[in-house]
Amino acid sequence: MQAVIGFDPRAKLLLTLAAIVGISLLPDGGWLVFAGALIGLMAVAMLAGLGPLHALRRSYVALPFALAALSLPFTVPGDPLTRLPVLGWPLTAQGVTRAASLITRSWLAVQAAILLTSTTPPESIFWSLRALRAPAILVAVVGFAYRYLSLLLGEARRMLRARSARSARRPGHRPSWVWQGQVAGAMAGSLFVRSLERSERVYLAMLARGYDGRIHLGQAPHMRRRDWTLLVLGLLALSVGLLVIGS
């Protein structure tokens, strides 16, 4: 894993972005191609010393993308497989293939991003984004969201514990959904106010310590020959693979 971390973060970031773009260009229904991409990602994980199932076990975050594909089996024209009993909507084979392909591409892209974050410190990723001329405000927002998400989760847990301590429950009695909704709404509003106040205090503290909108590393890395070799060979392999698939 140390060998993978030793590469320049800009090279790894560019290769990850290229891999995600390449995965998004894979054709619908190319199951063998999807399997090859999965094997390639597992091989990268093994080379990084993470184990072949490292990204696979953490890729459940791609499940929400399935919601965007739920309507495709009924809206994409094609050969009908069956119809919904009540609504009568046709379920087409082409729609099922497109929906499954969209979910698979999202799942593979998430695994590529997981491999990047598992082998590269977050500060190096944000620094690489700025070095590659990404908008400074976008990098700052993403960086702050990553750094202080744990603080928001901790605040939410404390609020839940406080609610439990103040809400006596009679045996066999369950609060109504209306009451639970009101409490959840009040907690969400309170969490928003607390987060806003804390963000102002944190930002003022950062300004007092010399923050100027840029991310500084202790020692900025330099692109070496092996970094250029990794970048060129990786982009060449992705390009050749897409050309072969397209032909």
pLDDT tens for each residue of 193-237: 888 888 788 888 888 888 776 666 666 677 888 888 888 888 888
Q: How confident is the model at residue 54 (pLDDT cuts 50, 70, 90)?
A: confident
CB 183 within 8 A of CB 163: yes
- Judge if pTM exceeds 0.85: no
**pLDDT confidence of residue 168:** 60
- The pair of structure tokens assigned to 156 is 């939410």
Beta bridge partners, 83, equal 90
pLDDT at 62 over 70: yes
CB 56 within 8 A of CB 43: no
Of 1 and 87, the one with more pLDDT: 87
**pLDDT confidence of residue 219:** 64
Alpha-carbon radius of gyration of the chain: 24
**145-168 pLDDT tens trace:** 777 877 778 878 887 777 777 766
Q: How confident is the model at residue 172 (pLDDT cuts 50, 70, 90)?
A: low
pLDDT at 44 over 50: yes
Count CB-CB contacts under 10 A for residue 193. 10
Identify the DSSP state of 60. G
In the chain, which ranges are continuous DSSP H helix? 2-5, 9-24, 31-47, 54-58, 65-68, 72-75, 93-119, 122-131, 136-166, 177-208, 225-246
